Amino acid sequence: MQAAVLTLAGSELALVRGRSLGVPLSEADLAMERYAAGDDGAFAAVYDGVAPRLYGFLLRQTRDKARAEDVLQQTLLQIHRARSRFLPGAEVMPWAFAIARRLLVDSLRRGKREVLADDGELDPGRDAGPGADEVAQARELAVRIDRVLAKLPQSQRAAFELIKNEGLSVAEAAQVLGTTVAAVKLRAHRAYEALRAALGDVIGGLEGGES
Partner 1 sequence: MSASPSPVPPGDMRDRVLAAVRGEPVATRDQGRRRDVLVLAIGFALSVGISVYLGGPGASLPPGYTALLGAAWLLVGVVATWEGVARGRSMLGRPAVVRVLVAVLTPLALLVTAMGAALAWPETLATPATIEAHVVCVVFTMLFALGPLVAFAIVRRGSDPVAPRLTGAAIGAASGAWGALGIELHCGHASAMHVLVGHVAPVVLLTLVGVLVGDRVIALQRTP
Q: Interface residues with partner 1 (CB under 8 A)?
A: 36-38, 43-44, 47-48, 51-53, 55-57, 59-60, 69, 72-74, 76-78, 80-92, 94-95, 98-99, 101-103, 106-107, 127-132, 142-143, 145-146, 149, 161, 164-165, 175-180, 195, 203, 206, 209-210
Alpha carbons 162 and 67: distance in angstroms, whole number: 19
Phi, psi torsion values for 127, nearest 5 degrees = -90, 105
C-beta closer to partner 1: residue 85 or 118: 85
C-beta closer to partner 1: residue 11 or 41: 41
Instruction: Report the length, in residues, of the chain.
Output: 211
| Min CB(185)–partner 1 separation in Å | 16
Angle at 32 between CA 31 and CA 34, to 5 degrees: 65
| Min CB(79)–partner 1 separation in Å | 9
C-beta closer to partner 1: residue 8 or 77: 77
C-beta closer to partner 1: residue 84 or 115: 84
Alpha carbons 65 and 75: distance in angstroms, whole number: 15
Which CA distances in Å does 204 have to 191, 197, 198, 200? Answer: 15, 11, 12, 6
| Min CB(101)–partner 1 separation in Å | 7
| Min CB(128)–partner 1 separation in Å | 6
With a CB cutoff of 8 Å and minimum separation 6, the contacts of 17 are 23, 24, 25, 89
Which CA distances in Å does 38 have to 13, 15, 28, 48? Answer: 16, 21, 15, 18
C-beta closer to partner 1: residue 47 or 186: 47
Question: Is the CB of residue 80 less than 8 Å from the CB of residue 41?
Answer: no
| Min CB(194)–partner 1 separation in Å | 12
| Min CB(82)–partner 1 separation in Å | 7
Which CA distances in Å does 148 have to 61, 115, 193, 202? Answer: 13, 16, 11, 14
C-beta closer to partner 1: residue 118 or 205: 205
Question: Is the CB of residue 89 less than 8 Å from the CB of residue 68?
Answer: no
